[in-house]
Homo-oligomer: A and B are copies of this chain.
Amino acid sequence: MPSFDICFSPELLPLYNLRGRVAVVVDILRATSSIVTALAQGVTHLVPVSEVADCQALALQGYLTAAERDGRQLEGVDLGNSPFGYLDGVVAVRGRSVAITTTNGTRALHLSQAADAVVVGAFLNLGAVANFLREQQKDVVVVCAGWKGNFCLEDTLFGGALAQQLAADFNTTDSDATLAALDLWQAAAPDVAGYLLKSSHVRRLNSLESHKDMEFCVRQNEYDVVPLYQGGQITL
């Protein structure tokens, strides 16, 4: 039975051997939720980059630009880090490509490239990711983007939710991180949005807009897509 582990922070990735495994990169608030939404809305592919300058260089090649730092959209780019940017019709996204840089998510994607496959996970595509992992039958490591390199609740809850879905097909009991995430998910599942209202990260983003984002980002199985990060691009 393949193993299921969770890495709570990109800073802990050196402790994990990703070779031969599938990495599921998650940054629920909001990078991976936005990436999943973007592809579900017809974006052709996304290129995650480290710096805003890299975004702007790709804009010259026709890319839309999406950039966020500390939870805020930067000046002079087309999109921020909200999934609603791909839904509200202000920017036409279907058929376009997007260069994206975010505080935590981009870094987690880059650091996960040693894995056999890098999947972009979110509550929005939880079931689709679970099905993909069952088909792959390889060891899984969920890579939490975290908050500025450290543990965060929302990515951990996603790890717990995914572990619960896969408990029959994967070994979810050999990792303390997975055991903890499963218990936290059990506490949060009846009201995930309510649970996350206590999270320091969510309170940091506290505003009408971010609350709306958060409620959207915890919706499960909104999109049946499995974005893969390979060759520097995220595509379906």
A residues in contact (CB < 8 Å) with B = 8-9, 11-12, 14-15, 147-153, 156, 173-177, 179-180, 183-184, 186-187, 198-201
- Chain A residues touching B, majority SS: helix
Q: How many angstroms between the C-alpha atoms of A21 and B14 in the bound complex?
A: 28
Assess whether B15 is in contact with A150, with CB atoms less than 8 Å apart: yes
Docked-complex contact B180 and A153, CB < 8 angstroms: yes
Q: Would A179 and B150 be within 8 Å (CB), given that A8-B8, A174-B200 are in contact?
A: no
**A149 and chain B: residue at smallest CB distance:** B15
Closest residue to A181 on the B side, CB-wise?
B180
What distance in Å separates the Cβ of A42 from its nearest Cβ neighbour in chain B?
A: 34
Of the A-B pairs whose beta carbons lie under 8 Å apart in the complex, a sample of 19, sorted by A's number, is A8-B8, A8-B151, A9-B12, A11-B12, A12-B149, A12-B150, A12-B151, A15-B149, A15-B150, A150-B176, A150-B177, A151-B176, A151-B177, A152-B176, A173-B200, A174-B200, A176-B199, A180-B180, A180-B184
How many angstroms between the C-alpha atoms of A200 and B177 in the bound complex?
Answer: 9
Complex-state Cα separation, A46 to B115, whole angstroms: 43
Chain B contacts for A173, CB-based, 8 A? 198, 200
